[in-house]
């Protein structure tokens, strides 16, 4: 059974079809990249996978449970327990330190543990910046705090929306190295990106256009086959 | 973590929080000022109205019945019953003794001037010193009750002064007609005896008293041959405005239930004070001077209503201010709130966080507002009543409850907005 399975997902905003009958499976430990031009439905797909939105039609099975049919309250619980979110804009709480931003995620999940939060920051190379406010961190450092926050509750899927979109090359490489490391450790990654280089690193690259999956390519590391 | 977030919100958003606190402080200060003044205004207005004379008249029971039956006018000699002077001190022993601010006994008789003119001469207390059965002492008399009298010549008769036994004060109309001046000695005949009286002062009262003479009680009792007797007592008391219970009690105190009776008896209604006076003065009927009692009640009610209205409006204004500020704060923090929802915070947890911030700010604002309000109350007290407003401790819980209600009510639109926020919309613009 796939960790995540989207069956005939359609999402409408009024008359606009943001997603049109999308089918997608993500296996445990897989690294999937989703690419596409603006307005192709990437963010909508990300929101649905991230339990921040529900499809108008179709089924979203996460660990076998259909999250398209649960209440908002249950959706919040699934998001808290199973999803780790990484944002292009980082979305750190500006009045909390790097450490506290990581602990916020623990607080709403279970019990804040400063030691564990420090370890998460150490994992992304920011232990020495734990007491700094977001305004005192570079963009790359903020993104790494965001990744530490996404990792802290050991989610089943890490969803990253344009994780390198606001970073320079050096910071982009640091972030991608972290993703590589996570993938090596068995994490399941779904990355939405504009950047072909980021997309190509993934095991599987899905191209979205006008709300439909135009192509699905396995990386050179796999077999390079165009599935659709 | 919760308190770290609260602390972070305060230290990094102190300007916003200060604005909310000041808005709450403004409402709380007005509420405090108005409530303190409202609680104290009764006494203040009553004291002001005491300058308009007595509000209770005590007469002998039979005299009251005759007056009621035959509508006998004042001055007509229908009074054949008297009160006992020896019981006067009992007035200051009733339950509401401290509300009795002044009283004066009266007795009147007719006398003949040397010109042959018949005049009414009243015996009373001017500034009488008396030692009460309770061991306390009291200075009371018409000098306090007839504050509107204008002494146009001479001065008030001073009972404490030696040789004042035969002194009198003469009404201005009579004085002018008879050519009497302060310091003159006038000869009168009363009860078949001649009296030589010294005029201490000429007064103008603007009523019938301008044609009469007022002298020391003992002297007039002697003239009337009624030693130790009084025709009536005027009492000035601080009272509470009447209500439905008073109307019921006025018909028959016996119709009240025990608890109603206790409430009525233990409240300074003019009727309960009258009732208590009747209990201590034998065969007396104490009745309110309705004009004064009614105007006291009416002025008090209107003043309190005005204060209440200002309090309500100031709190509504505060609630609107809080609504704007908190809503603006939530809008500014929509990304943060969206993020908290995205990482799994429940709506209740985020609402609790925001409400805790607002309630703490509210407490801070309420404390500032309370002390500022108390200052405003003193300004109002000194400007309007010329005296300080007493600090009423029970205003504190009232203001606290009002601040909590107003703060929470003002936060409702912001909380509703917060609950509607969807993380996907604020974080991804969807």
ipTM of the complex: 0.86
**Residue A227 falls within a domain, yes or no?**
no
pLDDT of residue A33: 92
Q: Do B344 and A79 touch (CB under 8 A)?
A: yes
* Contact by Cβ (8 Å): A175, A140: yes
Any domain includes A223:
no
The number of beta carbons lying within 10 Å of the beta carbon of residue B419 is 13
Supply angle C-alpha B103, B107, B108, rounded to 5. Answer: 135
A178 located within any domain: yes
Whether residues B8 and A91 touch (CB distance < 8 A) is answered with no
Residues of chain B neighbouring A130 (CB-CB closer than 8 A): none
Question: pLDDT, tens digit, for every residue of B303-328?
Answer: 778 888 888 888 888 888 888 888 88
The answer to whether B343 contacts A50, with C-beta atoms less than 8 Å apart, is: no
Binary contact (B4, A100; C-beta < 8 A): yes
Q: Which of B12, B427, B429 to mutate to test the interface with A (most CBs of A within 10 A)?
A: B427
* Tokens describing residue B299: 């002025």
| DSSP class of B77 | S
Give tens-digit pLDDT for B393-421: 888 888 888 888 888 888 888 888 888 88
Query: CB within 8 A of B183, min separation 6: which ones?
Result: B154, B198, B199
Tell me how crowded residue B397 is: count the other CB atoms within 10 A of its CB: 9
Distance from CA of A91 to the nearest CA of B (A): 7
Mean pLDDT over each residue of chain B, to the nearest integer: 83
The reply to whether residue B5 touches residue A104, judged by beta carbons under 8 angstroms, is yes
Query: What distance in Å separates the CA atoms of residue A11 and residue A211, rounded to the nearest whole number?
Result: 9
| pLDDT < 50 positions in chain B | 73-78
CA distance A126 to chain B (A): 20
CATH of the domain at A178: 3.40.50.300
Q: Which of A14, A50, A87, A93 to mutate to test the interface with B (most CBs of B within 10 A)?
A: A93
Q: Do B1 and A77 touch (CB under 8 A)?
A: no
Query: Cβ of B342 under 8 Å from any chain A Cβ?
Result: yes
Instruction: For residue range A23-39, list pLDDT tens digits in order.
Output: 999 988 899 999 988 88
Which residues in chain A touch residue B5, judged by CB atoms under 8 angstroms apart?
A: 93, 96, 100, 104
DSSP string, B90-154: GGGGSTTGGGEEEEEEEEEEEEEETTS-EEEEEEE-SSEEEE-TTS-EEEESHHHH-TT-EEEEE
Please check whether residue A2 lies inside any domain of the structure. no
Mind telling me how many Å the CA of A42 is from chain B's nearest CA?
A: 11
Q: Which domain holds residue A189?
A: 29-52+80-218
pLDDT digits (tens, 9 = 90+) for A42-63: 888 988 888 888 899 999 998 8
Task: State how many domains chain A has.
Answer: 1
In terms of Cα–Cα distance, which of B159, B161, B143, B139 is closest to B151?
Answer: B143
Q: What is the pLDDT of residue A227?
A: 37
Instruction: Give the pLDDT score at B105.
Output: 93
Q: Write down the pLDDT at residue B71.
A: 52
Tell me the Ramachandran region of residue A213: left when phi exceeds 0, alpha when psi lies from -120 to 50, beta otherwise. Answer: beta
Sequence-distant (6+) residues with CB within 8 A of B420 are none
Nearest-Cα distance to chain B for A184, in Å, is: 24
- Chain B: give the shortest CA distance to residue A96, in Å: 6
Residues of A in contact with B334 (CB under 8 A): none
Candidate from A158-162, A210-214, B223-227, B237-241 with smallest mean pLDDT:
B237-241
Q: If you measure CA to CA, which chain A residue comes closest to B14? A: A95
pLDDT, mean of residues A143-154? 88
pTM here is: 0.61
Judged by a CB distance cut-off of 8 A, whether residue B92 touches chain A is no
Angle separating helix axes A98-109 and A114-123, nearest 10 degrees: 120
Of B8, B339, B346, the CB nearest to A91: B339
A–B: how many Cβ contacts below 8 A? 85
Residues of chain B positioned with their CB less than 8 A from the CB of A107: 1-2
Residues of A in contact with B353 (CB under 8 A): none
What is the structure's pLDDT at B429? 56
Q: Residue A224: inside a domain, yes or no?
A: no
């Amino acid at each position: 059974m796939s960790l995540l399975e989207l069956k005939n997902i359609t999402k409408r905003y009024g008359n606009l079809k943001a997603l049109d009958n999308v089918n997608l499976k993500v296996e445990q430990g897989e690294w999937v990249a989703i690419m596409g031009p603006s307005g192709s439905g990437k963010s909508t797909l990300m929101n649905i996978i991230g339990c921040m939105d529900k499809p108008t039609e179709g089924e979203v099975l996460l660990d076998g449970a259909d999250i398209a049919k649960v209440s908002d309250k249950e959706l919040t619980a699934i998001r808290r327990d199973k999803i780790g979110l990484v944002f292009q804009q980082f979305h750190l709480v500006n009045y909390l330190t790097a450490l506290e931003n990581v602990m916020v995620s623990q607080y709403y999940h279970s019990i804040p543990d400063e030691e564990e939060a420090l370890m998460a920051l150490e994992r992304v190379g920011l232990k020495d910046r734990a007491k700094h406010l977001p305004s005192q961190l570079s963009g790359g450092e903020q993104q790494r705090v965001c990744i530490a926050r996404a990792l802290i509750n050991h989610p089943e899927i890490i969803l990253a929306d344009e994780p390198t979109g606001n970073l320079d090359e050096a910071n982009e490489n640091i972030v991608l190295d972290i993703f590589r490391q996570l993938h090596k450790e068995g994490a399941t990654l779904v990355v939405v990106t504009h950047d072909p280089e980021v997309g190509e690193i993934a095991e599987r690259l899905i191209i979205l256009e006008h709300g439909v999956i135009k192509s699905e390519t396995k990386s050179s590391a796999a077999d390079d086959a165009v599935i659709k | 973590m919760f308190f770290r977030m609260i602390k972070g919100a305060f230290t990094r958003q102190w300007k916003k929080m200060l604005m909310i606190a000041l808005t709450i402080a403004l409402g709380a200060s007005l509420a405090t000022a108005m409530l303190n003044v409202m609680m104290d205004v009764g006494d203040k207005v009553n004291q002001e109205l005491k300058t308009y004379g007595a509000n209770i008249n005590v007469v002998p029971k039979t005299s009251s019945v005759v007056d009621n039956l035959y509508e006998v006018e004042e001055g007509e000699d229908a009074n054949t019953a008297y009160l006992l002077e020896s019981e006067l001190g009992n007035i200051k022993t009733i339950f509401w003794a401290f509300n009795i601010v002044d009283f004066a006994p009266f007795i009147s008789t007719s006398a003949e001037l040397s010109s042959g003119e018949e005049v009414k001469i009243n015996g009373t207390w001017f500034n009488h010193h008396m030692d009460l059965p309770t061991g306390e002492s009291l200075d009371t008399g018409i000098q306090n009750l007839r504050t509107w009298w204008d002494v146009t010549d001479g001065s008030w008769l001073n009972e404490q002064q030696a040789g004042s036994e035969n002194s009198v004060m003469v009404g201005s109309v009579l004085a002018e007609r008879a050519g009497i001046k302060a310091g003159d000695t006038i000869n009168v005949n009363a009860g078949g005896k001649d009296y030589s009286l010294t005029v201490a002062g000429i007064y103008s009262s603007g009523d019938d008293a301008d044609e009469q003479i007022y002298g020391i009680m003992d002297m007039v009792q002697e003239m009337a041959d009624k030693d130790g007797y009084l025709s009536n007592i005027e009492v000035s008391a601080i009272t509470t405005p009447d209500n439905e219970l008073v109307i019921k009690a006025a018909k028959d105190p016996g119709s009240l239930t025990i608890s109603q009776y206790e409430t009525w008896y233990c409240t300074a209604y003019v009727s309960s004070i009258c009732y208590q006076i009747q209990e201590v003065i034998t065969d007396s009927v104490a009745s309110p001077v309705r004009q004064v009692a009614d105007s006291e009640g009416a002025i008090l009610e209107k003043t309190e209503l005005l204060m209440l209205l200002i309090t309500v409006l100031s709190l509504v204004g505060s609630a609107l201010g809080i609504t704007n500020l908190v809503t603006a704060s939530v809008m500014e923090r929509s990304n943060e709130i969206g993020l908290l929802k995205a990482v799994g915070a429940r709506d209740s947890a985020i609402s609790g966080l925001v409400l805790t911030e607002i309630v703490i700010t509210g407490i801070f604002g309420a404390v500032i507002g309370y002390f500022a309000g108390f200052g405003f109350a003193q300004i109002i007290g000194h400007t309007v009543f010329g005296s300080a407003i007493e600090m009423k401790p029970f205003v504190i819980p009232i203001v606290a409850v009002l601040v909590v209600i107003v703060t929470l009510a003002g936060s409702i639109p912001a909380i509703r907005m917060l609950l509607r926020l969807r993380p996907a919309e604020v974080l991804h613009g969807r």
